[in-house]
Structure 1
């Protein structure tokens, strides 16, 4: 299945400055950096190369990871000159991107069966497949309103958009190339804030892949420290 992968790690990581000045994606989870956990997960899921979309402190990250050969992968670096948002960064991959792309945010710890996710995406033939999980903090989550057939009807925030759901978007999804036609050539554009809501409103087929497997946001000091503590006590 010719699906490519991209890790989005172009943010400044301002929320983690109280922990360290090290780029957020290089902070250790247990005995290895967050990004290394992701690279190993991709390798174990059958990927041989990955796009790494960077911005702030890109030189530090490139020096730390090299060409990816030590992880059994080829890393293709894409460096933003100006912030473009999550969707803009993916659109800027241009012709290097094929028909389907697995997208994952760089501050996640992921331990799901990626092959099942990709099989679901192909079998449902949607414009995108969004991983969703039950959330106990819907007030600060990107939420998905899903119909009984598993198709996403709306994406947004509880307070800002009036979305009432306990299914949170887990910042990992598989997209078809044509979805990027909705992304402007310039400026900042975000999948959860801009592209998915517009696509759902227009009737594009966005599928929800619900899982109880671990997809954990470790991008805040509290969640990062809590998860590291759980690893030490495991």
Structure 2
């Protein structure tokens, strides 16, 4: 009697989060900390990504760090609270997206066919990650997929590089931004690599996956596919985008397993102090040791640890860094305050103003 072999269960995917950028577009909030640890919806941003990866069955995550690398582990720990193993690999010099991925190769397993999910450390996405993984594993016409890219469709692709695909989802090209885009599909910053493809990236060199690795793979006949999913997606790379993402998380518009939406329309830390006559709404977040005085109005804003807003002040769609202070009857609209910045009583900031670390206006 001949035994029939059962198909083997694929090994759990690994993941890499590329979190080495300086976050210059988010200054002054990033003057003293990496952008990946800024509060979004009441938790450090990377918690959203780690929770999503854990939910998708990932058991091992490697964090590729550089700027303020020593700050990650005290916040995120070893990953056990998400049921994953979290390792940290330091990038001594900036190596670009591809170089950063190659730099962590030794921390990954050596199964050449293994799946490695790569996330840009500043993208909040609700796309079907398990679905992308299943599509990656299914192959095309008996061929294994080498790399899968999450693609989103946008109404106006002129500001983006475009990624055209054929009827089977195979990537045909990577086209620079143009006034006449060939497609409305753009790269959304989540990739799945076959493990041995990572080893083909030149070690110790500055490499861009978007401009070098992916086009080279397509040109050399590797199977690169696009997984089109236009669910919630946001690049959290500017203060306005960070505030909008935080609002979406609090209001339940951005699906994330890291935190639950709140019916009150605001998330207030148990150790924050909010006066009974204060109004906090619109997806606002008020972090630990922050203080909102009676008569203050906070709408759609992020108030970080130890910041304070005095009576009669109005803060809308703004972000206050740790220890920032807003005086009585001051008005902030889409403003960004760095650590310890002080806004004097009665001041109205120009809309969109950014105040640097420890400055007074």
TM > 0.5 between the two?
yes
Q: CA RMSD in A?
A: 2.0
CA change 1:66–1:185 in 2 (3 A) is same
Q: Which residue of 1 aligns with 2:173?
A: 154
Runs of 4+ in 1 over 6 A off after TM superposition: none
**Does the CA-based 8 Å contact 1:133-1:169 persist in structure 2?**
yes
For 1:28 and 1:136, the matched residues in 2 are separated by 29
| Structure 1, gaps ≥5 residues long | none
For 2:78 and 2:181, the matched residues in 1 are separated by 42
Q: Which residue of 1 aligns with 2:128?
A: 113
What is the CA distance between 1:35 and its match in structure 2? Answer: 0.1
What is the CA distance between 1:138 and its match in structure 2? Answer: 2.1
Q: Which has the larger radius of gyration?
A: 2
**Does the CA-based 8 Å contact 1:35-1:106 persist in structure 2?**
yes
Q: Which residue of 2 aligns with 1:135?
A: 154
- Which of the residues 31, 42, 66 maps onto 1:55? 66
How many residues are treated as equivalent by the alignment? 233
**CA shift digits 1:47-97 (9 cap, x unpaired):** 222000000011012221121222322111111111111111111223433
Q: Which SS does the other structure have where 2:167 is aligned?
A: coil
Q: Which residue of 1 aligns with 2:217?
A: 199
- 124-133 or 171-180: bigger deviation: 171-180
Q: Which residue of 2 aligns with 1:217?
A: 235
**Does the CA-based 8 Å contact 1:156-1:192 persist in structure 2?**
no
| Structure 2, gaps ≥5 residues long | 1-9, 253-361
Q: Which has the higher contact order (CA 8 A, sep 6+)?
A: 1
CA change 1:59–1:109 in 2 (3 A) is same
Q: Which SS does the other structure have where 1:153 is aligned?
A: coil
Is 1:6 aligned to residue 16 of structure 2? Answer: yes
Q: Which SS does the other structure have where 2:183 is aligned?
A: coil
Matches within 5 A, 1:1-234: 1-2=10-11, 3-21=13-31, 22-98=33-109, 99-124=114-139, 125-159=144-178, 164-234=182-252
What is the CA distance between 1:176 and its match in structure 2? Answer: 1.1
For 2:90 and 2:116, the matched residues in 1 are separated by 18
TM-score (normalised: structure 2): 0.60
**CA shift digits 1:177-210 (9 cap, x unpaired):** 3323542223210111111111112222111101
**Does the CA-based 8 Å contact 2:162-2:181 persist in structure 1?**
yes
CA change 1:155–1:163 in 2 (3 A) is farther
**Does the CA-based 8 Å contact 1:139-1:157 persist in structure 2?**
no
Greater helix share, 1 or 2?
A: 1
